[in-house]
Amino acid sequence: MAKELLKGNEAFAEAAIRAGVEAFFGYPITPSTEFLEHMARRMPKLGRAFVQAESEVAAINMVYGAACTGKRVMTASSSPGVSLMMEGISYIAGTEVPAVIVNVMRGGPGLGNIAPSQGDYYQMIKGGGHGDYFPIVLAPATVQEAVDYISLAFDLAEKYLSIVHVVVDGNMGQMMEPAELPPMREISDEIPEWAVRGAKDRDPNILTSIYIDPEDEEITNLRLLRRWKEVEKNEVRFQEYQMDNPEILVIGFGTAGRVASSAVRDARAEGIPVGLLRPITLAPFPEGRLEELCDQVQRILVVEMNSGMMLDDVQKIVKGKVPVEFYGRLGGVTPLPDEILDEIRRVSKNEGEISGDPRDEWMDRLEKMRTGDQ
Amino acid sequence: MVEAKTEVIYQRPESFTDVHTHYCPGCTHGVAHRLVAEVIDEMGLREKTIGVAPVGCSVFAYNYFEMDFVEAAHGRAPAMATGIKRVLPDNTVFTYQGDGDLASIGIAEIMHAAGRGENLTVIFINNAIYGMTGGQMAPTTLPGMKTTSSPYGRDVELAGYPLKMAELLAQMEGSGYIVRRSLHDASNIRKAKKAIRLAFEAQERGLGFSMVELLSSCPTNWSMSAQEALGFVEEKMLPVYPLGDYKVTPALQELRV
Amino acid sequence: MAVTGWIEVDDLYCKGCGLCVDACPQDVLRLDMERLTPKGYHPAQMTEETCTGCGICAVVCPDAAITVYRKTPQRQSRKAAGRRT
């Protein structure tokens, strides 16, 4: 199929439809609403389920119910809405049924704003809901990637009976970009053995997240952890750019990673030996690859649109082997390529150790830059 | 010539599992479960029914029904049932919910399920108290009634008034069958069963949202014997929660079962 | 020949709540204080032969523990009896 000019949210929704999603349940919230609107237009015409729920709480529990039937099901929302969904997400994880959740992240905490942000990193990557579980988190950086990974998200959800989050930010949800949609996939008529469809000619299936005996819950928690170890082994995805003997490694995901790639290209043109690692799976994180790169680079710069959340994970993996610096914009501000280019230039001249939390110096730099802006 | 024939007048329904329930002796949850199982047997729906259990005393309801079941988060059973029914419209889907679940934490979900006219059946157990957590005030607790969280009796000035769910849900255009019955004696139990039958008939006929509210007892948390508790239902609950048909869609009024 | 009935109480389910004892219109049920079920309850039992098999005990039983039987007198079929109306 040819490339078309597509609006992010609508392209993601259409990608889900073509991946065979049979039910969508959601609630309007900026900047993800076009996702719901596209589903409202398309799903009933295809004879598939669409419900605009009374709240995100209800929407995720509708997803939960439909997921228990073994059909492909999803929702899409944005940060405050996803916070409301965390209850249902934990139940879905505990029941071990597949579901896909798209989070078009916006500035927060609280009502925050509707501008693009990556401030939900902890909430999405570290679980967010209560209890021991491990969501798979995909972080595409272009509309095309999101289109491709939404289809992958369903496959992974079913393979690992897991929650799969696709995290994008308001930039990607709202931008128009050329992308190629996949062909319509046929809806599978296979019924998973665990699905509830009525106990005809078999024993009843019970789908629940309750294990009243702690020993049983422990077995379940261990099963989830073992399954997660399989995910870590098999499903790590990342993209590298300008990785010809880099001395400086920039790490960024989603929009921050995409902006950073422009800065890396310009820095290379200036002769700075810099490369980019862009994690596509934030969970599982490309830990092995980063460990390898620690032996090859002299300095790491983490770029995010939050207060340095992935930075924590990077530092945990780097273990102080290489100095790690940080540059972030917050609250719905997207960094410009030139800002990151300046950071790369600065880092390339900076040879000393970083004392303490790299965020301390970053905050000072950011304050100075902001004052200068005014 | 006269000969005698032995009939089985009553036996345990097939849709009920061979399991000792965890309910307290004399708790009418068991009666409500049994009636649902009997109706599902009589209508031959067992193999296509999916039940949705709540959070509360009936959290383990799925252990007692010989059919597919899911277990919802507290109050979310109508949303979960909506998800199931929308992708499996030919299956029979019912929720079984208590008063804390349905009328407190889950009031948004139940009202909107009715508002959308979801073709579901809801069995609502109103015993005016939180049973599982040990006898706290429910949205349905009677004015003046003592519970562990209204130790001086429910003061309506501070804690408001009981919610009347059958009356509320009957206002919804999407509702097809909304009635209140009681489980305090044999004759009322028979009427309750007929109502449950009609609620499932409504679903099978696609007549919209159906709910049977069942006034029930909680001997343990009311600190009464099983028999005294049924007396409390009759004497104290019936005046606050009048039995009756709050909405019966015309297509159902003509049905004889 | 009078209508006669009897019941069987399944010890697996009976919790000795006594609701059937109170509901029985013939007053033929008691809790058996000499015996305990595996779960430790005194189960209901029939103590008199005047049960009519009305089934009210089973209707009020919260645990579906009671099976009710009834023996009803049946006339032989009319044809066999050689009578017509």
pLDDT band per the 50, 70, 90 thresholds, residue C74 = confident
Angle at CA of residue A209, ends A208 and A210, nearest 5°: 95
One of 3.40.50.150, 3.40.50.11140, 3.40.50.920, 1.10.8.60 is the CATH number of A238-373, namely: 3.40.50.920
Write out chain C residues lying below 8 Å of B23, CB-based. Answer: 62-63
- Is residue A84 a contact partner of residue A75, using CB atoms and an 8 Å limit? no
CA–CA distance, A167 with B22 (Å, rounded to integer): 43
Please give the pLDDT value at position B108.
98
Write out chain C residues lying below 8 Å of B131, CB-based. Answer: none
* Number of neighbouring beta carbons within 10 Å of residue A300: 26
Angle at CA of residue A307, ends A301 and A308, nearest 5°: 40
For residue A224, pLDDT beyond 70: yes
Nearest to C73 among B4, B9, B21 (CB): B4
Write the pLDDT tens digit of every residue in A251-287: 999 999 999 999 999 999 999 999 999 999 999 999 9
Which residues are paired to B170 by β-bridges?
A: none
- For residue A248, give the 3-state DSSP assignment: strand
Please give the pLDDT value at position A355.
82
What is the least distance, in Å, from the CA of A208 to any CA of chain B?
5
- Pick from B75, B77, B167: nearest CA to B130: B75
Angle formed by the axes of helices B29-43 and B186-204, to 10°? 50
For residue C1, pLDDT beyond 70: no
For residue B14, pLDDT beyond 70: yes
**CATH assignment at residue B44:** 3.40.50.970
Please give the pLDDT value at position B109.
98
Residue type, A328: G
Residue type, B35: L
B near A: at least 3 beta-carbon pairs less than 8 Å apart = yes
CB contact under 8 A, C76 and B25: no
Which residues, numbered 154 to 213 in chain B, qualify as contacts with chain C under a Cβ-Cβ cut-off of 8 Å?
Answer: 185-186, 189-190
A163 alpha-carbon distance from chain centroid: 12
Q: Token match 């073992």: residue?
A: A226
Q: Token match 């305990």: residue?
A: C36
B217-244 as b/e: b if 16+ CB within 10 A? bbbbbbebbbbebbebbbeebbebbebe
Name every residue whose Cβ is closer than 8 Å to that of residue B148 and which is 6 or more positions away in sequence.
Answer: B134, B135, B136
- Is residue A263 a contact partner of residue A340, using CB atoms and an 8 Å limit? yes
Please give the pLDDT value at position A2.
86
Total number of domains in chain B? 1
pLDDT band per the 50, 70, 90 thresholds, residue C78 = low
What is the least distance, in Å, from the CA of A346 to any CA of chain B?
52
* Number of neighbouring beta carbons within 10 Å of residue A33: 18
CATH class of C4-81: alpha beta
- Pick from A29, A94, A92, A150: nearest CA to B83: A92
- For residue A100, give the 3-state DSSP assignment: strand
pLDDT band per the 50, 70, 90 thresholds, residue C84 = very low
pLDDT band per the 50, 70, 90 thresholds, residue C82 = very low
Q: Where are the domains of chain A?
A: 4-234, 238-373
Name every residue whose Cβ is closer than 8 Å to that of residue A227 and which is 6 or more positions away in sequence.
Answer: A134, A160, A161, A162
CA–CA distance, B176 with C9 (Å, rounded to integer): 39
Averaged confidence pLDDT in chain A: 96
What range defines the domain where residue B193 resides? 29-253
Write the pLDDT tens digit of every residue in A292-303: 999 999 999 999
What is the least distance, in Å, from the CA of C75 to any CA of chain B?
5
Please give the pLDDT value at position B181.
98
- Is residue B134 a contact partner of residue B161, using CB atoms and an 8 Å limit? no
Average pLDDT of the residues in A93-107: 98
For residue A374, pLDDT beyond 60: no
For residue C75, pLDDT beyond 80: no
CA–CA distance, B177 with B196 (Å, rounded to integer): 10
Write the pLDDT tens digit of every residue in C64-73: 999 999 998 7
Write the pLDDT tens digit of every residue in A131-184: 999 999 999 999 999 999 999 999 999 999 999 999 999 999 999 999 999 999
- The burial of B43, by beta-carbon neighbours within 10 Å (0-12 exposed, 13-18 middle, 19 or more buried), is given as middle
For residue C79, pLDDT beyond 70: no
Nearest residue in chain B measured CA to CA from C53: B9
Average pLDDT of the residues in B159-178: 98
Instruction: Identify the CATH homologous superfamily for domain A4-234.
Output: Thiamin diphosphate (ThDP)-binding fold, Pyr/PP domains (3.40.50.970)
Chains adjacent to B (≥3 CB pairs closer than 8 angstroms): A, C
Write out chain C residues lying below 8 Å of B4, CB-based. Answer: 1, 71-74
Chains adjacent to A (≥3 CB pairs closer than 8 angstroms): B
Please give the pLDDT value at position C77.
55
Angle formed by the axes of helices A56-67 and A79-95, to 10°? 30
Please give the pLDDT value at position B256.
83
Q: Is A88 on the interface with B (CB under 8 A)?
A: yes
CB contact under 8 A, A199 and B47: yes
Name every residue whose Cβ is closer than 8 Å to that of residue C11 and which is 6 or more positions away in sequence.
Answer: C37, C38, C43
What are the C-alpha distances in Å from C21 to residues B8, B31, B32, C12, C43? 20, 16, 19, 18, 11
Angle formed by the axes of helices B107-115 and A56-67, to 10°? 70
What are the C-alpha distances in Å from A257 to residues A145, A243, A365? 13, 14, 20
Please give the pLDDT value at position B1.
54
What are the C-alpha distances in Å from A370 to residues A333, A365, C10? 12, 9, 79
Per-residue 3-state assignment (H helix, E strand, C coil) for chain B: CEEEEEEEEECCCCCECCCCCCCCCCCCHHHHHHHHHHHHHHHCCHHHEEEEECCCHHHHHHHCECCEEEECCCCCHHHHHHHHHHHCCCCEEEEEEEHHHHHHHCHHHHHHHHHCCCCCEEEEEECCEECCCCCEECCCCCCCCCECCECCCCCHHHHCCCCCHHHHHHCCCCEEEEEEEECCCHHHHHHHHHHHHHHHHHHHCCCCEEEEEEECCCHHHHCCCHHHHHHHHHHHHHHHCCCEEEEECHHHHCCCC
* Number of neighbouring beta carbons within 10 Å of residue A360: 12
Which of A201 and A127 is assigned the larger pLDDT?
A201
CA–CA distance, A152 with A140 (Å, rounded to integer): 11
CB contact under 8 A, B80 and A61: yes
Write the pLDDT tens digit of every residue in B185-220: 999 999 999 999 999 999 999 999 999 999 999 999
- Pick from B20, B23, B51, B24: nearest CA to B36: B51
For residue A29, pLDDT beyond 70: yes
- The burial of A371, by beta-carbon neighbours within 10 Å (0-12 exposed, 13-18 middle, 19 or more buried), is given as exposed
CA–CA distance, B5 with B17 (Å, rounded to integer): 29
CA–CA distance, A371 with A236 (Å, rounded to integer): 40
Interface pTM, i.e. ipTM: 0.96
C72 alpha-carbon distance from chain centroid: 14
Pairing of strands C29-31, C44-46: antiparallel
Averaged confidence pLDDT in chain B: 97
* Number of neighbouring beta carbons within 10 Å of residue A259: 24
Averaged confidence pLDDT in chain C: 89
Residue B147 sits at φ, ψ, to 5 deg, of -140, 175
Nearest to C18 among B5, B12, B227 (CB): B227
What are the C-alpha distances in Å from A185 to residues A18, A38, A162, A165? 5, 18, 21, 21
